[in-house]
Amino acid sequence: MLKHPLPRLDKDDELKNLLLPYCRFSVGTIWIDKLSGHKIACGDATNINFVQSLFENKKASLAIHDPPYNFIAFKKSEVQQFIEWSKKWIEITYEYLKANSSLYIWLGADQKNNFQPLSSFIEMMSSTKFKSRSFITMRNQRGFGTQKNWMAIRQELLFYKKGNPYFNVEAEYTDIPKVLKGYYKSVSGKLTENLERSKSENIRAGNVWIDIQQVFYRMGENVNGCYAQKPLKAIERIIQASSKKNDIVFDCFAHSGTTLIASEKLKRKCFTIDIEPVFCEISLRRLEKFRYEGKTGWQNSNPFANEIQNDKKLKTYLNKKYKLEY
């Protein structure tokens, strides 16, 4: 098994600059997929003119956003800046969603500081045209341990709607079988229990998802260098529940390209943006890898492993700063 780790790219601007020569993207580039109709755009998701050039005269049925909320230290002034910045891409998202559509947003909550930025973000959303639908929690199998508080094992996912969107309830069923009987009631004069009345032998996910593993380095979908990568299974569930085949799925923050890969697998068109050329390149390389090899990530390797092995400056930098050998 190859072991070519890559440090967190969001924390190392020098490393990103060293990788730029191997990127097909620069700010303003819009890559259009001739096979499935996907688009990857390198630019600012708060620039309405840039987003318009991405969509042209089209609109999406679903938006899934995972904003980079970890870049702030959650001080009051910085949280407010984050909220003001978020207002811009939320307003643009509303503009480029169909009349009946869905919006999902992954967001963190710092339990050491009044659950920011989640708490302020929810308050901000109440002043928009979107209507709240659900507050979903994805339970991580791993967490941040502590001896003086409950272990932090949750990821927060907000679900909003515009108009009256499609929702496929069948997508909510998990692989977990129902084992508990109960909730008796009379149906047509016959006393029945829950399992008899159920449409499935498996439980529904509900708004607490306990059946999805967060991504870590041993998983095939892992993309080294991309911090807080969301699991494909979670994005696939959202797409199956809130869109139909050939619909456009909008993602303002491409990062590791998970929404792009899920859309490819489920025959949707993904329009995704990232302001960083390196993350746009990673997204495209991940799509190419999936198409050519059937693999959704690099596990212990990384998207730029071949380039790094042949680039003396990159190898020296990684060895000197991170003690990594290639």
Q: Is the pLDDT of residue 49 over 50?
A: yes
* Domain-embedded: residue 139: yes
Percentage above 70 pLDDT, the chain:
93
Q: For residue 198, is it within any domain?
A: no
- The mean pLDDT value for 63-69 works out to 93
Separation CA 51–CA 45 (nearest Å): 7
DSSP assignment, residue 231? P
| Domain membership flag for residue 197 | no
What tens digit of pLDDT does each residue of 163-188 get? 999 999 999 999 888 776 666 777 78
Please name the residue that has the structure tokens 């709607």.
161
So what's the pLDDT on residue 252?
A: 97
pLDDT score recorded for residue 178: 77
Asked if the model's pLDDT at residue 73 lies above 60, the reply is no
| pLDDT confidence bin for 67, thresholds 50/70/90 | very high
Is 17 inside a domain boundary?
Answer: yes
Reported as a single tens digit per residue, the pLDDT across 207-242 is 999 999 888 778 889 999 998 899 999 999 999 999
Q: State yes or no: pLDDT of 1 exceeds 70.
A: no
Position 4 in a domain: no
Q: Which of 107-116, 139-148, 231-240, 302-311 has the lowest mean pLDDT?
A: 139-148
Task: Give me the chain's average pLDDT, please.
Answer: 92
Does any domain span residue 187?
no
What percent of the chain has a predicted confidence (pLDDT) above 90? Answer: 75
* Nearest 10 degrees: Cα torsion 105, 224, 280, 253: 10
- pLDDT at res. 57: 95
* pLDDT in the model for residue 219: 87
10 Å CB burial of residue 146 (0-12, 13-18, 19+) is: exposed
User: pLDDT value at position 102?
Assistant: 98
Say yes or no to pLDDT of 295 above 90: yes
Q: Given the DSSP bridges, would you call strands 185-187 and 190-192 parallel, antiparallel or unpaired?
A: antiparallel
Average pLDDT over residues 99-121: 93
Q: What is the CATH number of the domain that holds 276?
A: 3.40.50.150
Q: Of 72 and 217, which is predicted with more confidence?
A: 217
CA atoms of 142 and 228, how far apart (whole Å): 13
- Find, among 281, 275, 270, 255, the residue nearest to 27 by Cα: 275
User: Which two three-digit tokens encode residue 84?
Assistant: 């003001």
- Residues forming a β-bridge with 152: 144
Can you state the percent helix, strand and coil of the chain, rounding each to 5? 35, 25, 40
Residue 141 pLDDT more than 90?
Answer: no
- Residue 282 reports pLDDT greater than 80: yes
Summarised one tens digit per residue, pLDDT across range 77-102 is 689 999 999 999 999 999 999 999 99
Higher pLDDT, 175 or 261: 261
Does residue 110 sit within a domain? yes
Number of domains forming the structure of the chain: 1
Q: Show the domain range for 272.
A: 9-166+212-322
Nearest in space to 121 (alpha carbons), one of 153, 95, 158, 152: 158
Name the pTM for this structure.
0.93
Judged on CB neighbours under 10 Å (0-12, 13-18, 19+), 303 is buried
Residue 160 belongs to a domain:
yes
Question: How high is the pLDDT of residue 145?
Answer: 66
